[in-house]
Structure 1
Amino acid sequence: MARYTGPVCRLCRREGTKLYLKGDRCYTDKCALSRRNYAPGQHGQRRTKLTNHGVQLREKQKVRRYYGVLEGQFNKYYDMASKQQGVTGENFLKILERRFDNIVFRLGLATSRAEARQLVVHGHFKINGKKADIPSMLLNVGDVIEVVEKSRASAKFKALVENHKATAPQWLSVDAENLQGKVIAEPSREDIELPIEEHLIVEWYSK
């Protein structure tokens, strides 16, 4: 499975905004963006004015990195969104929100999307009672996610039950004590906290 394996803090610095790729560290003074608020590399501190093309590209890359999706799959999601009824940009973000790894993270069952992806691949979750290990699966209303029985006794998930603080968005319900969550509605545009101008991504793909 192809994935980015480089230093993730560089990605936040390149996009100039927190993408919350390292979980709890992103909320502390150790955050690389807080300490070095400029792009990585020897020319990172130079001020450059982006063209319209550059602005659209940066927005696309920001969203792609936020959800941890590689270019090919990102393109497929956009094609799916463009064929659906409604506003293409919003449809696109809703598809990304419905990814299995994103939902695990949004339920508070992982500290970052990268950790959620790893937990999914290692087989720690079930969907509707059946083991599932594909992070890119798109979940639907009514789907139930739960930690498999043999994983519940692990230190990771025991600590999660004791210290669960995450608040799930309105389209998800979570039962932290039983390490379970459910998709109760379609995600809405208002549920996405990262400042995203999705119209720029639509303009990028419309060329």
Structure 2
Amino acid sequence: MSRFTGPRLKAMRALGVELPGLSRKSIADRPHPPGQHGNRLRKKSGFGLQLQEKQKLRLNYGLSERQMRRMMSDAKRAQGSAGDKLAELLECRLDNAVFRAGFAPTIPAARQLVNHSHCLVNGRAVNIPSYRLRIGDVIALREKSRKHPVVQESFGEPALTRPEWLSCDEAARTATVAHLPALSDIPFPIEMQLVVEYYAQRL
């Protein structure tokens, strides 16, 4: 399955949760699922609950199913809890860090900045959105890119409060990875154990 490119607000309404990485819009005005029968209460099966939690991660971080499976495999091979490691791997993606630092209004916008070589990591241009950050890495934008209206507006009013694992210098317009993120740093409610259980039978 490829990366999601459909209506973002509709996807969030279907999942019943706001995904700040996917869109800055809110589902508060229409919190029920989309469709003619959206107001009807539907009881989900165990599989349905697992799928819903997995879709939250996949849509918020803009990953294809293949990318999710590969990341889950890496998380299972690592020491410690697979759920905690998966959260760390997702948050440490460069496109997500550019978004969380406030350089872009959403993760798709951040991915575009990275793809077009606007982003620097430790002074070197990196155009791979899935680039995995490490402690001490410094994220910045090229000098010309900092003057872009979208970047200036987003940095002045970031979509989310900047996380503790990113140390941001607003004057220099840089963000440094102070420490590795944890499960609690994911900016929306998620039952990570259900995601682990979903992939337990598929890897």
Match of 1:72 among 42, 66, 72: 66
Pair 5,125 (structure 1): closer, same or farther in 2 beyond 3 Å: same
Q: Which amino acid aligns with 2:125?
A: K
| 1:187 corresponds to 2:181 | yes
State the AA in 2 paired with 1:34.
A
**C-alpha distance in 2, partners of 1:61/1:7?**
14
Spell out the pairing of 1:4-153 with structure 2 (5 A cutoff): 4-20=4-20, 21-23=22-24, 26=25, 31=26, 33-153=27-147
Q: Which has the higher contact order (CA 8 A, sep 6+)?
A: 2
Task: Supply the AA of the counterpart residue of 2:18.
Answer: K
Give the TM-score normalised by the residue count of structure 1: 0.88
Following the alignment from structure 1 to structure 2, what is the Cα–Cα distance between the partners of residues 153 and 113?
A: 19
Where is the helix percentage greater, Structure 1 or Structure 2? 1
1:159: Cα distance to partner? Answer: 4.1
Matches of 1:158 and 1:56, distance apart in 2 = 38
Aligned mates of 2:43, 2:96 — CA distance in 1: 33
Could you list the structure 1 runs, at least 4 aligned residues long, displaced by more than 6 angstroms after superposition. none
1:88 and 1:160 mapped to 2: Cα distance? 33
Unpaired stretches in structure 1, ≥5 consecutive residues: none
Aligned residue pairs total 198
Distance 1:194 1:82 in 2: 23
Which segment drifts farther, 109-118 or 166-175?
Answer: 166-175
Identity %, equivalent residues: 40
State the secondary structure of the residue aligned to 1:35: coil
Alignment gaps of 5+ in structure 2: none
